[in-house]
Structure 1
Amino acid sequence: MENKGLDIAHAKERLLDAALGHVTFDGWSETTFRAAAEEAGVAPELARLICPRGALDLAVGYHMWGDAAMRDRLKEADLAGQRFRDRVARAVRLRLEAGDREIVRRGAALFALPQNAPAGASLVWGTADAIWTALGDTSDDINWYSKRATLSAVYSAVVLFWLGDESEGNAATWEFLDRRIEDVMRIEKFKAQMRDAPVLGRVLEGPLRVLGRIRAPSGAPDDLPGRVTDEEKA
């Protein structure tokens, strides 16, 4: 196999493209990784250098590709006049539609393994961050974290529901998504009412003052959920 002058990013794309034809049958496994390297014309040693964790790195790459596809489709979507909750729902729907159900199912099984759970959680947080950022979120305080944490939970639940959905056009999934977002809106409304209540407002004054000092991360610190490592960018 000829690897001279091979661009690392391009080689990883070739590996991922080749792997997708095997994931449905062999999952994100070592078998898939080796078959992808052979079909992509990438020497095993170079493939391992590009993806030290083997198929896990390819699964991470596939998830990140889905985030990028969602961002591109969201730019083309007409969101004018829509309520913000509807814009969030649209973004989540576009993110799900960017992936192949069986490939995502195999990825869910991979990231459910204890040793891979941190990587999976990081990716879900990254998806939530991608959605909020694409929708123009400008929060720079505790809300930056709470928005992404809440959407991460919603997205995770919707993905699991979608994987088992057999309704026509995934209608049941979109209804489930709307209900989850409605639940979030009720919680936010309740929180606002509690803050505005005279007695509770005084009780919460101290904690809220402390929380008000929290700021969104600057420069993507290494320990932030959803942080994309240099290794994953390669």
Structure 2
Amino acid sequence: MTQTQEKQPDPVQELQNKVLDAALAHVVFDGWSASAYQAALADSGVDPALAAAAFPRGAVDLAIAFHRRGDALMRERLAQTDLGDMRFRDKVATAVRVRLEVVEDKEAVRRGATLFALPHHAADGSALIWGTADAIWNALGDTSQDVNWYTKRATLSAVYSATVLYWLGDDSPDHQATGAFIDRRIDNVMQFETLKANVNKNPLLKPLLAGPHWLLSQIKAPSRRDDLPGRWQPRADG
């Protein structure tokens, strides 16, 4: 790649990172609150009008930016990690571990969990968890285009959200207890997938499942952006 072809810095992203970096020192004490947001603006020197364009809802959008930055860091690290010889379950477990390892401030995550547990922010929190699961599957090369696109992300969302809660309370050396927790949860998922495959292969159950299978086959992965977080790409057939 030549110098003229190098990716140019995103000014909006730079502004967001500047405010976010300044906010983390205040979030520890004030949570993802209006006071932390205002303190971040004062410390960063970012014009409030520009910040309002990047964070229309103030502190909530700041917390969302923090979570998404973690997803981006995870994707970067996974791209540099050799997963080739791993079993698939180990690839998933590794991706979940990496997502936790790139967290800049555990207390900021704790404060975010509190924020997104509030009823009026619960939808944002669910969307972020789904987005993390989607980022993991995409990083691992998932190409599913049917109902499995949804079930994979829904299952991993449940695993990841449970893991975060466990990790927040884990004070074991190098979070070894969290690593064991991840392995157990992934094993449970793999057992369910094995059971599902065995049921589908059972000749006695096959006639009974013909109708449900046909119905599920009509469900496709999203091909354009709507209200569902995930991956949207134009279909080759138009």
Check whether TM > 0.5.
Answer: yes
* CA RMSD of superposed structures (Å): 1.6
Q: Is 1:79 aligned to residue 80 of structure 2?
A: no
Identity of aligned residues (%): 57
Please list the CA deviations of residues 164-194 of structure 1 after superposition, one character each: whole Å capped at 9, or x if unmatched: 0011110100000000000011111111111
Q: How does 1:72-151 map to 2 (within 5 A)?
A: 72-99=76-103, 100-151=105-156
Equivalent-residue separation in structure 1 for 2:67 and 2:196 (angstroms) = 33
Partner of 1:216: 221
Equivalent-residue separation in structure 2 for 1:114 and 1:219 (angstroms) = 28
Structure number with higher relative contact order (C-alpha < 8 Å, ≥ 6 residues apart): 1
Q: Can you give the 5+ residue segments of structure 1 that lack an aligned partner in the other structure?
A: 1-6, 229-234
Alignment size in residue pairs: 222
Equivalent-residue separation in structure 2 for 1:226 and 1:56 (angstroms) = 20
Equivalent-residue separation in structure 1 for 2:228 and 2:91 (angstroms) = 25
**1:209 is aligned with what amino acid?**
W
Structure 1 stretch 159-168 or stretch 187-196: which is displaced more? 187-196
**1:155 is aligned with what amino acid?**
Y
On the 8 A contact 1:19/1:33 being kept in 2, the answer is yes
Q: How does 1:11-22 map to 2 (within 5 A)?
A: 11-22=15-26
Partner of 2:27: 23
Partner of 2:41: 37
Q: Is 1:161 aligned to residue 166 of structure 2?
A: yes
Secondary structure at the aligned position of 1:59 is classed as helix
Partner of 1:232: none
Equivalent-residue separation in structure 2 for 1:227 and 1:182 (angstroms) = 26
On the 8 A contact 1:121/1:225 being kept in 2, the answer is no
Equivalent-residue separation in structure 2 for 1:47 and 1:122 (angstroms) = 23
Partner of 1:55: 59
Secondary structure at the aligned position of 1:198 is classed as coil
Partner of 2:178: 173
**2:192 is aligned with what amino acid?**
I
Partner of 1:67: 71
Equivalent-residue separation in structure 1 for 2:231 and 2:166 (angstroms) = 26
Query: How much does 1:214 deviate?
Result: 1.2
Please list the CA deviations of residues 64-107 of structure 1 after superposition, one character each: whole Å capped at 9, or x if unmatched: 00000001110111212100100000000000111121111011
Q: Can you give the 5+ residue segments of structure 2 that lack an aligned partner in the other structure?
A: 1-10, 233-238
Query: How much does 1:132 deviate?
Result: 0.3
Equivalent-residue separation in structure 1 for 2:98 and 2:54 (angstroms) = 29
Please list the CA deviations of residues 44-65 of structure 1 after superposition, one character each: whole Å capped at 9, or x if unmatched: 3332232111111111001000
